Amino acid sequence: MVINLKENKLRWTKGCSARINRLREQYLSFVPSIDIERALSYTKSYKETENEVMCIRRAKALKRTIEEKTITILPDELLVGTRGFRPRAAEILPEIYWRWIEKELDTVACRAQDPYFITEEQKRILKEEVFPYWNLKSMEEFYDANVSDELKNIVFDTGIVFGGRSQCGPGTISANYNDIVLKKGYKGIKEDAEKKLKNLDDTDINNFSKKKFLESVLIVCETMKILGKRHADKAREIASNTEDNVRRDELLKIAEICEKVPYEPSGNFREAIQAVWFNQFMMFTEENADSYCMGRLDQFLYPFYRKDKEKGLISDYEVLELLECLWIKSAEIIWTLDEESTKYYSGYQPFHGVTCGGLTRDGKDATNELSYMMVQASMDIGLHCPSLSVRIHPGTTKEFLMHVIDLIKMGTGQPSIHFDPAAIKILTNKGVSIEDARDWAVVGCIEPQIPGKMCQSDEGSRYNMASAVELVFFNGKSKILDRKVGLSTGELSNFREFKEFKSAVKKQLAFIIKQSCINAQMIDLAHREKLPKPLISSCVSNCVE
């Protein structure tokens, strides 16, 4: 397969165009900072909806955020939309967490790892208008209040069972771009929800929660329409004050696209890639988490690419430039973390995953022109995000492998390589059809998932295996914590054979794993009760259906 793309042997930067180089430098000029717009909108909305069911409250709060947020379109941009009021702005989500923000408010801008700039006025607003309302109302506090004393003893600040998603959304998911976001648009999602609502029997109280969920989806669909419309209006406003004829035409084209997507189905490549970006940053807006992944971008965008190419509406150069715009936009999003977490998740990394290569659903090599361009985009941009994953299999061409190797040689840590037969076997062993299994994408760290068809909290809880040995040494006591956290497996001095020691370690480990599983389920419960996800649910298969 041959496409006319420039080779880039440099270790760092030089995008496919002068525009891309300017956008990259512009991105780097923004200092990571705190954004309080969402926190204010959610606080005001939650105050007004206290007697409504939670999924409706969350949908209304998201809508209010989009109605009130600052709309930013930067010079040179072809893809538009920022999660916060500007690029690299870290949103605060008080309905999930707020206590660590309050605690670190005066140190978050000067901490050693991943500081966020914050103004004194923002601090004042948070202290006076946001934090007071959320006391005992956040998801984190709900989780803390409902965890048993036994679980608290081994989970809270122990380093034995830890992690989980009590301070963020679940993440590790990819929307169904192919069948829902691009083909239906949120207008189609709305129509599906309206049909379901019409057929619900209101006399059956068991349908109440279904009804409210579907109503929350309708609110989300309206929100996405408002999102596009506000960006279209902003683009026209800037165009009216732009003397550069070329840029004016670009802005008017952006307005035309945003007037349509993500509400209407996408009709061409430019509309499709803009719809993808709108959906991506909106998932992060709904919940602060990592790993809201784009999935198999080269597969679901390919029909739009081929159609536009055949009609002479777009060139490979223009497609590559749009992909590189998407790569830069992806890097703008920041996962808001406390100081302790930044020691492990450093670099303002949101872990946007994107996958290319692999097999088609019928078992053929899926590598196409967009696969090459995605690798090239990572070579040209040289940023930490998105996290590119390449699927390879025995039929992957040498030409594509050499292109991937060129990226590896740059030493940026990109891409990760995944072997198709292993991932497909993992999925089919769990009952996934062979067609769906071949359609897998990487989410999270290295988890194989079917985009838009699976939702799994891949790290609901973690545990320290080595701590089982320590607990045996001290008969269930943690030496560092100076208290009992494990089982009483006997004094070490009483063991006469190694098999007794081994058996005790297994008992301690089984106890730790059990507590970790309970912890993960408690976090899932907290999400279900306090953090329904109408936006994400609307673009995942079978939630509305």
Question: Which residues are the active-site residues?
Answer: 445, 447
Q: 67: closest CA among 90, 38, 29?
A: 38
3-class SS of residue 396: coil
What is the enclosing helix (H) or strand (E) of 416? strand 416-419
3-class SS of residue 129: helix
For 274-289, give one letter per residue: b (16+ CB within 10 A) or e. Answer: bbbbbbbbbbbbbbbb
Q: How far apart are CA 121 and CA 36, in angstroms?
A: 10
Q: Is the peptide bond before 386 cis (omega within 30 degrees of 0)?
A: yes
Q: Which amino acid is at 216?
A: S
Over the Cα atoms of the chain, what is R_g? 25
Contacts 24+ apart (CB under 8 A), 96-100: 96/138, 96/139, 96/140, 96/167, 96/168, 96/169, 96/287, 96/288, 96/531, 97/138, 97/139, 97/140, 97/167, 97/168, 97/288, 98/130, 98/131, 98/134, 98/138, 99/138, 99/140, 99/141, 100/167, 100/338
3-class SS of residue 447: strand
Q: How far apart are CA 45 and CA 61, in angstroms?
A: 5
Q: 140: closest CA among 167, 100, 103?
A: 167
Q: How far apart are CA 105 and CA 118, in angstroms?
A: 8
3-class SS of residue 105: coil
